[in-house]
Structure 1
């Protein structure tokens, strides 16, 4: 019986790994041509034509963003990154298409972290404000909801704050990612865990029930199995939960080597404060998706932030460079000069989203949505944020994640090795 259960578990892991791999798999040139000339041919006829392309001076972008409510920290970072890109481009003379230059204009509304308000905002931006393109909101649930409206109306949207695999597996044609897809977020973390000693043998996973966190948790289980790290605790909790203490008490009897939270920012803040009070838990490592990688985390959590690991889409120490902002460090300096602080990963990601639109537009011979979308699909470029390259479903398959850890009250990049400021503080026994 035990052998049968083990065999079925192995088959499930193998199937999951295959599906994740196929979600990222790039096709050969012949297959790409077939996809673009067949699957996208009729869909592209639904693209909304741009109004008065020869008689205008601006390109109009719209965004619904969580300036207030549960996602306000992330939302404010996202809109700030968009506006920083807008200011940078306009100071440089605008987006140049052929012999013409166009200023960037971004129209935004607060969705108050409410998905129904988001839907109304996106509809208003398209129907009343007549924007040309949509910049994605924050969170996978919100990006998925927005994409249902943009796809129906033939509007191109690039998501800066949505990474769930399911956004890009619902027969979407005009929706593209900026970040690495959620199921791949933990790949680099488990690569790092394969190198530390003593090697971790077990992990516990807590997942608020959201689109992004479900996709990220799916990846955790696949990548952990690939390193033969055993799951000893798994809990799906209500997405509105702010009390993690009961689950941490349950977990304590399992004594996991690694504790993992797939989370948004406020989840991570609450979780970190509550974890420090459970003295029975002595993990070797604690890692979260969104939390320790945010610039406000240490201030909001305090001393309990020490040693926490975060997964980041971007690290300024990386040696990426490209058009518009120059290198990663150039972007960081320009942002700091403007706002007096280092950029968060959401700042960088949303600025990168704007750069993707800009580079694809500047390859057009004229302001034309069909030419633009083909330029996005065929893009393979390095910018300050990293590599941008799409598969046939609009996922960014060129980007690599980074890991950060709070050390002596400061966020330090610990992975990948070529961009690291420090080595991992491991194990964490001395902290608890």
Structure 2
């Protein structure tokens, strides 16, 4: 939800944000009109209600001769107040709908455009030169007996899988290493609910244009989360949080579910694009003035993890039209996939400014008053990382090199050997 005071005072900035996202600028004018109508309707209702209260106090003072007329006037005014209240409520709903149509205002420096209009900020590491023909991640994993796609499909349908043996161990090691790093950085570890109520899902901004990505359970009126960001954002719903000692940081470990609607025929092989996966997600509540600095910290922590698993990657500044409704800026880290000769997203971190917290009623005390907090999120590790590990660390004999930082989580093993 957008701060309406900012929109009133800076309509051109909001229009520019809409343009950069590729959205309709007219929605800004529609919001301003709905805001004006809401305020006018509310004023009319409150004025009439004040008159009603004044008239009610005069009934007891009226003479017997005046009383019937005063009672008749009171009845008529009561009906009018009821109509004006209904009109004010309707105007409020129309305002809320108009506000919901405006996505978060993008920050300065975010490139305009869509999915392909990102800005590459830097490259880290060099893609490995192979002296043999590298196999794709699924061939490497199946030789290690680490993934079973066929039985995953048999049991649950397409885009499901089993991680087994060294595959399951490698995922557990990766996520545990992420948790250790997060705790060392001051995050509180959380295992989070994977089912949330509609107000939480809507409050985080996930029930907009891409709501078809989300699994909905109508019998329970609940949603399966696609990231623990949702549950972590809802953790302090309708609360006043204490940010006087710095940001509140949580690291959520959860299974995540995505319908992958609209991705028919895309990344169908292996575990690049699946319906269920595990993830460790960073989340922060902080003061608005600290949000951009906190965002840079999140990116640095993601890069620290990528360095530990020894992957070449690049960092991109995502274009405005590819941000999603809640993010004001998003940085992605993309690991190199040698068999596809391309980069693949493995982490993203978003600065959501006050967009989510305003929807969820999350405030902080500042200078003797309360105001909306800022929220940020970022991926620290996820199942998809196995794709890049299998491809980049394969050996010609079919074995898999284990990065040094991961070895303590795997009993000191330096490699995984193929199954005979």
TM-score normalized by structure 2? 0.25
TM-score normalized by structure 1? 0.25
The structure with the larger Rg is: 2
Higher RCO (C-alpha under 8 Å, 6+ residues apart): 2
